[in-house]
Chains A and B, each alone.
Chain A
Amino acid sequence: MDIPLTIKETQEGLINKKYSAVELVNSYLERIGKYNKDLNIFLTITEDEAYKKAKEVDNLIGQDNPKILTDYPLLGTTVAYKDIFLTKGIRTTAGSKVLETYIPSYSGTVVKKIENAGGIMMGKVNCDAWAHGSSGENSDFGATLNPWNRDYIAGGSSSGSAAALSSNMSLISTGTDTCGSIRLPANFNYLVSLKPTYGAVSRYGVIAMASSLDCVSPIAHTVDDIKQIFDAIKGEDGFDSTVRNINQHKPAKSNFKIGVPKEFFEERLDSEVDNNIKRAIKIFEKLGIEVKEVSLPSSKYAISVYYIVQPAEVSSNLSRFDGIRYGGKRTDFGDEAKRRIMLGSYVLSSGYYDAYYLKAMKMRTKIREEVDNIFNQVDALIAPVTPTPPFKIGEKTKDPLTMYLSDIFAATANLSGIPALSLPFNFTKNALPLGFQLMGPRFSEYDLFNLGKMFEKETNYKPKIANL
């Protein structure tokens, strides 16, 4: 069967009995069986759970409940979870040898919510160990290859989450975005992703990387699907005190203004990425949206601030892995985790705390204030997600700093806690996916969805998967 690429089409097919959920799962598992070994996407394939849930879905459909899609908004939607989402009874590794045999005793909030909404778990997917990376190459289980071109990285850290979709092994996936970890792989795989406002989605049951920055983030093929997933996973759960419920029925604004932060275009921008985003800006102008240049002068320091705040929080969060309560020994940590733990210990250590950690927290205030002020002038920002198209496997692994700079355009959203929607748009001359991101004020997700949908409509967007 032809596997649909949107939630709506999938559900229509199920409800109209074009295929059963079990048949749908068969088709996905067939593709996983055929291509997973080579692309290294799934670390654990949950075949039994998928069939069990598919049978439940088929039973529900058999009951002729007219409200079925209201009761189960993600009915029959196959899901791949980044392997840092805890899944009760199913191995969860965080992409690290330290947790190679770890079986969680509970599931994360987002996993439970997707499950209750009718989602079908296909398995747990590869990522940079502990979500530390921009390419997926820091996984202790090997890099995920980009289905669009196997010589290239899939983007990280949520590498498997994106590649599972562009190879059509799952319809949707979850990842996390601490500094571009969802937006980069989504862009590198021709997919839509949302890094929500910090505090919109619960982090309960997600292995922590940097707690003041981590955001649970979905990937899908369309803005509509992202909205549907976001609606299912957002909101207070009583287990993450940073989460607040958000109001989606804010009246939509007319005379929308988009800002182009000039600092994002000043350095290190690949010409294909640059030209492509200029084409995207023209499309928004054609839609009657005013686009104007704005300035975020401190954004050039964002990656430095990030590489102080994040390792500091990493060193604290990873200190719990002492091999006593769960997991292996600290000698099992890979190089990148060791580097970040040590960098964090350094910037927090006596004699360096003021010069690095405190300084970075103060700079974070400056960045946050500039971002807040810009949203008095414009309603959203448009920017590249990353300075380059997908890069080759091995290209940046020797020099950690070069790898870190891949996230230079991602850091602003995480440091200031604002949402960012990344959209696919065009391909390079080498047929590699390109895209861009839209950022808005805190809790402006639904405005970003509207903008994204307008863009999709104007460009006659159709989901695409890689030809395998």
Chain B
Amino acid sequence: MGKLTIDEVKHISKLSNLDLTDKELIKFQGQLSKIVDYISQLSEVDTANIEPTSQTTGLENIYRPDEVKPNSFSQEEALSGTEQIKNGYFEVDAVLNKES
């Protein structure tokens, strides 16, 4: 394991929703390969029968009552971070085209 191909770097940039230039692809290919090579050291450890850890609190299923709190955002506050507003909503690019 270790060396990433240019096609793999292209693939993960697509998964990451990042548009990269050809120059960036080459730069990241080298840097990511080196990092992946290093983290591949984990393959030398036997981890059979070990449960994975995703968090360290030991807490599970923390609930709260489903209540409307008085200090919720107004529509205006919720939209304050963008300029792409239409009729009080976020305006986004179309995700479907007419033919489909």
CA distance A301 to B38 in the complex (A): 10
Measured CB to CB, the closest approach of chain A to B79, in angstroms, equals 8
Is residue A63 contacting chain B, with contact meaning CB distance below 8 A?
no
Q: Which residues of B contact A324 (CB under 8 A)?
A: 82, 84, 90, 92
Quick one: which of B1-60 are within 8 Å of A by CB?
1, 4, 8-9, 11-13, 15-20, 24, 27-28, 31-32, 34-36, 38-39, 41-43, 45, 47, 50-57, 59
Measured CB to CB, the closest approach of chain A to B50, in angstroms, equals 4
Q: Which residues of A contact B64 (CB under 8 A)?
A: 238, 241
Is residue B94 contacting chain A, with contact meaning CB distance below 8 A?
no
Is residue B70 contacting chain A, with contact meaning CB distance below 8 A?
no
8 Å CB contact of B78 from A105, A304, A368: A105
Is residue A230 contacting chain B, with contact meaning CB distance below 8 A?
no
Is residue B68 contacting chain A, with contact meaning CB distance below 8 A?
no
CA distance A284 to B19 in the complex (A): 54
Is residue B77 contacting chain A, with contact meaning CB distance below 8 A?
yes
Measured CB to CB, the closest approach of chain B to A365, in angstroms, equals 4
Determine the residue in chain A with the shortest Cβ distance to B50. A362
Contact A355 B47, beta carbon cutoff 8 Å: no
Q: A339-B28, A339-B31, A363-B47 are contacts. A319–B17 as well, Cβ < 8 Å?
A: yes
Determine the residue in chain A with the shortest Cβ distance to B77. A105
8 Å CB contact of B52 from A331, A345, A364: A364
Measured CB to CB, the closest approach of chain B to A178, in angstroms, equals 13
Q: Which residues of A contact B87 (CB under 8 A)?
A: none
CA distance A212 to B56 in the complex (A): 8
CA distance A241 to B45 in the complex (A): 33
Measured CB to CB, the closest approach of chain B to A342, in angstroms, equals 5
Is residue B81 contacting chain A, with contact meaning CB distance below 8 A?
yes
8 Å CB contact of B18 from A308, A333, A404: A333
Contact B81 A103, beta carbon cutoff 8 Å: yes
Q: A345-B12, A346-B32 are contacts. A363–B57 as well, Cβ < 8 Å?
A: no
8 Å CB contact of A362 from B31, B52, B77, B92: B52
Measured CB to CB, the closest approach of chain A to B96, in angstroms, equals 16
Measured CB to CB, the closest approach of chain B to A210, in angstroms, equals 11
8 Å CB contact of A363 from B16, B18, B45, B54: B45
Is residue A275 contacting chain B, with contact meaning CB distance below 8 A?
no
Q: Which residues of B contact A404 (CB under 8 A)?
A: 35
Measured CB to CB, the closest approach of chain A to B46, in angstroms, equals 10
Measured CB to CB, the closest approach of chain B to A274, in angstroms, equals 24
Q: Which residues of B contact A399 (CB under 8 A)?
A: 34
Q: Which residues of B contact A416 (CB under 8 A)?
A: 56
CA distance A102 to B83 in the complex (A): 11
Per-residue 0/1 for A331-374: is the Cβ within 8 Å of any B Cβ (1 yes, 0 no)? 10101001101111111010000011011111111101000000
Is residue A325 contacting chain B, with contact meaning CB distance below 8 A?
yes
CA distance A461 to B98 in the complex (A): 72
Among B18, B20, B27, B28, max chain A CB count under 10 A is at: B18
Contact B15 A345, beta carbon cutoff 8 Å: yes
Is residue A307 contacting chain B, with contact meaning CB distance below 8 A?
yes
Measured CB to CB, the closest approach of chain A to B30, in angstroms, equals 10
Contact A212 B55, beta carbon cutoff 8 Å: yes
Q: Which residues of A contact B24 (CB under 8 A)?
A: 338
Contact B39 A308, beta carbon cutoff 8 Å: yes
Q: Which residues of B contact A342 (CB under 8 A)?
A: 9, 12-13, 16, 18, 28, 32
Determine the residue in chain B with the shortest Cβ distance to A304. B39
CA distance A326 to B78 in the complex (A): 10
8 Å CB contact of A368 from B9, B47, B56: B56
CA distance A308 to B18 in the complex (A): 19
Q: Which residues of B contact A304 (CB under 8 A)?
A: 38-39, 41-42
8 Å CB contact of A242 from B16, B50, B52, B57: B57
Contact B47 A102, beta carbon cutoff 8 Å: no
8 Å CB contact of B15 from A198, A322, A349, A361: A349
Contact B36 A346, beta carbon cutoff 8 Å: yes
Q: Which residues of B contact A366 (CB under 8 A)?
A: 45, 47, 50
Q: A361-B53, A362-B47 are contacts. A343–B15 as well, Cβ < 8 Å?
A: no
Is residue A315 contacting chain B, with contact meaning CB distance below 8 A?
yes
Q: A338-B20, A342-B12, A417-B56 are contacts. A355–B32 as well, Cβ < 8 Å?
A: no
CA distance A441 to B28 in the complex (A): 39
Q: Could you pull out 5 A-B pairs where Cβ atoms are within 8 angstroms?
A: A238-B64, A346-B8, A346-B12, A349-B15, A362-B53
5 extra interface residue pairs, beta carbon distance < 8 Å, beyond A212-B55, A338-B20: A198-B56, A356-B39, A365-B53, A368-B53, A442-B56
Task: Give the top 9 A-B pairs by smallest Cβ distance, nearest first.
Answer: A417-B56, A326-B81, A361-B52, A241-B62, A362-B47, A364-B53, A345-B15, A365-B53, A105-B77
Q: Which A residues lie at the B interface, using CB under 8 A? A: 102-103, 105-106, 198-199, 212, 238, 241-242, 244, 298, 301, 304-305, 307-308, 315, 319, 322, 324-327, 330-331, 333, 335, 338-339, 341-347, 349, 355-356, 358-366, 368, 399-401, 404, 415-417, 442
